[in-house]
Amino acid sequence: MKLRESTGGAYEKRGQFFMRVTVAPQQRRAELLPWCTSLAAAKERAGVVQVLVSRLRAAGEVAFIEKVVELGATADAATLASLGEKVSAITAGHFDRLAPAKGKGGPVTFRTFAERWTSGDLARLHPDHIEPKASVQDDVERFEKHIFPHVEDVPLVDFTRAHADLVMAKLPPTMKRSTRRHVAQLVNRVLHLAVFVDVLKHHPLPRGWLPKMPRADSIGKESLLPSEEARLLAGYTKGGDPISLAYRVAYLFLHREGMRKGEAKALTWADLDLERGMVSLDENKTDRPRSWVLDPGVAAVLVKWKAQCGAVKPVGAVFADIAWDALARVYRAHCEAVGIDRARLFQKKANKLQLRAHDMRAFFITSGMFAGRDALWITDRSGHTTLGMLRTYERDVRRWRELGEAPVDAAIAIPELAAANTAAGRGGKTVDSKVGESVSTRQVATKAEVAEWQTQRIQNPPSLRA
């Protein structure tokens, strides 16, 4: 009796799609299709991969089956076609045909190979050795603006140091040293990957070609003082109009929890355990999962912020209404709007940066050191992988102490939420033990109340209170 030919199958589990392929008699293997969005597409991919596996089984080349299934699950259309050619070569015994893939009408160019990296194709083909590219959009922009215009059509096999030097020579003379190094790193990484996948036999750039990283203290940076931050979080502009509450909650969170901008952007309500006051970051820039206990004041603010957001989904963004791509510009504009006029915050010179969104992390680190937190406590939250970076903030800590500055308690930093928190906790008129001021049960504090609170905080900072 003739055995029924295997056709492959598919199924959905918890919103993810899997293909199922018969790899041996009475033995099937399931593989996740991370790109797939429908059961029909999953069945189609299972059918294609099953045909390849069946051809390998018929030819007795079973040693290749596991890898074909693995690659077939993640391959795009072009890679899948290439995989089919390689299976044909294997089953025909023509192993010499397993050469690096060619581009359209010729050898692989620098652009073609670089886009295989930034698109994630290389990571899907070599998941054990190549990780998906983090912060890929920034790198795509650097490729398009600074690299591809000069070397995009150069075949990788013909790429030399002269091409790499041309890219660097064309960079604007005013470009920061750190950005120049980022561009060089992209060129260098593409060539390293080409060697790894055997498109190149040797890396064409010598050791030491990468520009040296500038010292962390060679560029002047500036972050807010605690009294300035208190003014920003209070939220009233010089004209009397309030700053968006969504932005102020985000500023408070970033100032006190030390996350990177991208981490805060991706933060969902499922990442927060507000009952215990904890946050977990399983996916982040350094691929080091982090989890820690939130500042109690921040946890209280987030509880109230969640209530204000209404019916939220676990996968919903905690900070949904923020223009993250323009955050630095908006941050500076909000600071100016509330009357923060310290010129150094807004100056940009050859060796001095103006206030950036990233400087909220500087505020967090300075606050932690000011409060006597140890280095591991700070790096658990900030995600720094070396302790040397923390030494650069010691001057800011000394300056805060000399000025008599200290961060305000997060629980009372935003007047609307401070009033709501105390009202919810006790009801009626209450007295805040930290500033000694009565807080109304109104959801929005008056401008006069805000001014009085801020005056009290600035004149009598926590570090000087009995």
Tell me how far apart the alpha carbons of residues 323 and 251 are, in angstroms, rounded to a whole number.
13
Task: Note whether 381 and 249 are within 8 A (CB).
Answer: no
pLDDT: which is higher, 227 or 440: 227
pLDDT of residue 145: 93
* pTM for this entry: 0.55
Task: Note whether 338 and 234 are within 8 A (CB).
Answer: yes
pLDDT single digits (tens) 197-218: 888 999 999 999 998 876 655 5
CB-based burial of residue 25 (10 Å sphere; 0-12 exposed, 13-18 middle, 19+ buried)?
A: exposed
pLDDT of residue 189: 95
* Domain boundaries for CATH 1.10.443.10 within the chain: 226-464
pLDDT single digits (tens) 119-149: 888 888 888 888 876 667 788 889 999 999 9
pLDDT of residue 316: 92
Q: What is the mean pLDDT of the chain?
A: 81
Q: Which residues pair with 220 in a beta bridge?
A: 352
Whether the predicted pLDDT of 391 surpasses 90: no
Quickly state the pLDDT bin for 98 (edges 50, 70, 90): very low
226-464: which CATH topology?
Answer: hpI Integrase; Chain A (1.10.443)
Whether the predicted pLDDT of 437 surpasses 50: no
User: Maximum CA pair distance of the chain?
Assistant: 93
Average pLDDT over residues 89-116: 66
pLDDT: which is higher, 340 or 108: 340
Whether the predicted pLDDT of 431 surpasses 80: no
pLDDT of residue 227: 95
Rounded to the nearest 10 degrees, the angle between the axes of helix 161-169 and helix 177-196 is: 160
Average pLDDT over residues 47-76: 87
pLDDT of residue 409: 93
Lowest mean pLDDT of 63-67, 130-134, 286-290, name the range. Answer: 286-290
Tell me how far apart the alpha carbons of residues 456 and 447 are, in angstroms, rounded to a whole number.
14
pLDDT of residue 97: 39
